[in-house]
Structure 1
Amino acid sequence: MTSSPLRLILISTPIGFIGSGKGGGVELTLVAIIKGLLEMGHHIVLVAPYGSFLPSGCEGAEIITVKGIDQSSWQHQVPDAPITIPFNGMLPKLVEVALKVSKNSDAILNLCYDWLPLWLTPFVEPKIFHLISMAGVSKLMEATVRDLSKTHHSRLAFHTFSQASDYELIDQPIVLGNGFDLKNYHFQLKGQGPLGWAGRVAPEKGLEDAAKVAADLGDKLFVWGLIEDKAYASKIESLVPEGTIEWKGFLNTQEFQSQLGSCRALINTPKWNEAYGNVVAEAMACGVPVVAYRRGGPGELVQSGVTGWLVPSDDIEGLKKGVLNIDKIKRQNCRDWANESASYQMFAKRINSWIQSGLGIR
């Protein structure tokens, strides 16, 4: 029990209901925060899209669901795209409900990566804190974060320093990492299975590079994740020998980690600056070494030569070399890193300290 229990309102992503997979890593992050803060004695109210559900361990949270049209993600728009909100849009509805129910609360924690809650922060009475879930992909969002940093820097937090470096901040960034319920990830000491890749199947994730590595090495590649772009997925499959890719789909954590844990290595190939790299942490929690581009969050998570191999961005030959040298990595090192750096309990403590400090409690 924390010495200062808080009543907190959490705003979920407006691009899909929790459990749909559309929210990407935000869904896992949200669950980790809720579980951790509940265990610390806080009262949690989650405002989320209709259809959202929370897994075991989050029963103590109150959930208010809202109907509306999903917001488009900034990562799927051009860098200088303008603000657009569909008629009956989810974004303003989530914010409106959160503000209404926050009257007797201590703070709002926003996990929605969009301009509206950021822009509103100086103008509303509830104190809104923002865990920024993406690196800079929009000029408008970068400007909005920059402007809020000038007036309310302590209300902004990031997952990694690499992510935060995309933004022009008035002071050093508040970096909180991320967290997972590690008891749900079973350590597998021996992984003699195929190569693995996980994430939303969309161009910015770079699946084609991992597929080429597997094809060139004559290996099989298990692919987990929601196929957002079916044409992109079909194109990748056409570029490699039949049977190279085995599509595993979007699975719940139990099924995902069980299959992932048998892999020899996870290949991580983002074409953009990943904010954190949840699948990298999940793989290491299972004992699976990671071969990744030295780009964004994964470049901070993987210790080259200890928990996997980091190679220059877009260096496919480097990826192949890393895979060929994966037997030099001790799988126990990977699980040890997860235990020391990525539990949801530690993550929630960092979240708690950040918010309590921002409220002037300590």
Structure 2
Amino acid sequence: MTVKALKLLLVSTPIGFLGSGQGGGVELTLISLVKGLLELGHEVVLIAPNGSELPKECEGVEIRYVSGFDQPSWQHQDYGSPVIIPANGVLPMLWEKALDVGKEDFDAILNFGYDWLPLWLTPHVEPRLFHLISMGAVSKVIKDQIMKLSKTQHSRLAFHTHVQASDYELSDTPTVVGNGFDLNQYKFQSKSDGPLGWAGRVAPEKGLEDAVAVAAHFDDTLLVWGLIEDENYARTIEESYPPGTIDWRGFLKTNEFQDQLGKCRALINTPKWNEAYGNVVVEALACGVPVVAYKRGGPGELIQSGSTGWLVAPDDLDALISATYRVNEIDRLKCRNWAIDSASSKGFAKRITSWVQKDIME
């Protein structure tokens, strides 16, 4: 299908400003998509919280800012928790602005926030709202809303992986668009004798403790990148192992992060929940770094076990250690080539625009 140039309004996550790291993988996904859309000749306007910044490669994108308090993250709430919107919250501000700006003859509004409000709005407003669902079913109220929307406007929903989509009882076959990255920012490194690495938000659902146990088994230091969301969790892990087992690197910009990550002999990926995709998995592969991971969620759909890394049964620490012994069997160039073939920002943008265009034409 030929895709005409589209005028798209993107609505950012209500959790932190772009560049803060608080939005986790959603930030990287959104920025990668913007780059891909611009490369394909589409027009993009972004609604985002105050303080948000796009990299220089996204120059020309207009950002319309809103103020307000961050929305509570659903990862840190119980499955049955109700919707809570803080007084002066940024979430309704984002959507008040989006619906107002959306009157300016946009083809579609793309939502990147995992929350109830934009999903509920979809059948009640004139602008076409599309939702790239960024997580598995961690909230009953959101799951119910997605299932309800699937019955009436299924084509407005898209998912990163099939395993993520399977968390929801959808009325039809899901639209799966994967993800994409500006691979020019990731340098292939052919050496394989560096340290072990782990990357992600430092929070219990990410399973950092298992990766640290692997490093301790090898009497190695684990390089850890990411925003520490749960200080007590991080401190408990650190105190459970000899000093120096963890080297905290913090949340870094892509250029610095990929340079350090590329020197690792392997990335250890240990999700304790159904990851929607696994951005750090692809970032590692793009640098030529094989990934040893639990076969759970998105990473289990991305990694080709025996070719770009090793997949083991979820929570099987012994298997994780055994697989780490075998990382030198992986051809690092195959890792890089998989990223080029499957996860470029341009390819991702093509999948997104095809999804939107198909709905517009129906």
TM-score range, shorter chain: over 0.9
Residue in 2 aligned with 1:276?
277
- 8 Å CA contact 2:258–2:287 kept in 1: the answer is yes
Residue in 2 aligned with 1:316?
317
Note the alpha carbon deviations across 1:218-255, whole angstroms, 9 max, x for none.
11100000001111111000111110100001000000
**Residue 39 (structure 1) shift:** 1.7
Note the alpha carbon deviations across 1:23-57, whole angstroms, 9 max, x for none.
00000100111111112221111000100000121
Residue in 1 aligned with 2:75?
75
Look up the SS of the partner of 1:69 in the other structure. Answer: coil
Residue in 2 aligned with 1:301?
302
Residue in 2 aligned with 1:18?
18
Residue in 1 aligned with 2:113?
112
Given the alignment of the two structures, is residue 93 of structure 1 paired with residue 93 of structure 2, yes or no? yes
C-alpha separation between the residues in 2 aligned to 1:202 and 1:223?
12
C-alpha separation between the residues in 1 aligned to 2:328 and 2:106?
52
Gaps of 5+ in 1: none
**Residue 3 (structure 1) shift:** 5.5
Residue in 1 aligned with 2:31?
31
Q: How big is the alpha-carbon RMSD for the aligned residues of Structure 1 and Structure 2?
A: 0.9
C-alpha separation between the residues in 2 aligned to 1:318 and 1:3?
46
Look up the SS of the partner of 2:256 in the other structure. Answer: helix
Residue in 2 aligned with 1:265?
266
Residue in 2 aligned with 1:288?
289
Note the alpha carbon deviations across 1:202-223, whole angstroms, 9 max, x for none.
0110000000111112111000
Counterparts of 1:329-340 in structure 2, within 5 Å, are 329-340=330-341
**Residue 191 (structure 1) shift:** 2.4
Given the alignment of the two structures, is residue 213 of structure 1 paired with residue 214 of structure 2, yes or no? yes
Residue in 1 aligned with 2:137?
136
Residue in 1 aligned with 2:228?
227
- 8 Å CA contact 2:266–2:291 kept in 1: the answer is yes
Look up the SS of the partner of 2:20 in the other structure. Answer: coil
C-alpha separation between the residues in 2 aligned to 1:32 and 1:17?
16
Residue in 2 aligned with 1:161?
162
Question: Which residue identity is paired with 1:191?
Answer: S
Look up the SS of the partner of 2:293 in the other structure. Answer: strand
C-alpha separation between the residues in 2 aligned to 1:223 and 1:3?
41
Look up the SS of the partner of 1:204 in the other structure. Answer: helix
Counterparts of 1:188-203 in structure 2, within 5 Å, are 188-203=189-204
- 8 Å CA contact 2:14–2:49 kept in 1: the answer is yes
Residue in 2 aligned with 1:146?
147
Question: Which residue identity is paired with 2:316?
Answer: D
- 8 Å CA contact 1:208–1:236 kept in 2: the answer is yes
Question: Which residue identity is paired with 2:219?
Answer: G
Change in 2 beyond 3 A, CA 1:262/1:49: same
C-alpha separation between the residues in 2 aligned to 1:161 and 1:240?
37
C-alpha separation between the residues in 2 aligned to 1:298 and 1:257?
19
Given the alignment of the two structures, is residue 354 of structure 1 paired with residue 355 of structure 2, yes or no? yes
Note the alpha carbon deviations across 1:305-361, whole angstroms, 9 max, x for none.
000000000011111001101111111110010010010000000001000111117
Which stretch shows the higher mean deviation, 23-32 or 56-65? 56-65
Gaps of 5+ in 2: none
Residue in 2 aligned with 1:62?
62
Note the alpha carbon deviations across 1:77-132, whole angstroms, 9 max, x for none.
00000010000001000011000001121110010110000001001000000000
C-alpha separation between the residues in 2 aligned to 1:297 and 1:331?
21
Residue in 2 aligned with 1:46?
46
Residue in 2 aligned with 1:187?
188
The aligned length equals: 360
**Residue 293 (structure 1) shift:** 0.2
- 8 Å CA contact 2:15–2:22 kept in 1: the answer is yes
C-alpha separation between the residues in 2 aligned to 1:18 and 1:127?
24
Given the alignment of the two structures, is residue 102 of structure 1 paired with residue 117 of structure 2, yes or no? no
C-alpha separation between the residues in 2 aligned to 1:257 and 1:79?
34
C-alpha separation between the residues in 1 aligned to 2:4 and 2:322?
51
- 8 Å CA contact 1:45–1:63 kept in 2: the answer is yes
Look up the SS of the partner of 2:58 in the other structure. Answer: coil
C-alpha separation between the residues in 2 aligned to 1:189 and 1:214?
22
Change in 2 beyond 3 A, CA 1:58/1:272: same
Look up the SS of the partner of 2:96 in the other structure. Answer: helix
- 8 Å CA contact 1:287–1:332 kept in 2: the answer is yes
C-alpha separation between the residues in 1 aligned to 2:5 and 2:308?
37
Residue in 2 aligned with 1:6?
6
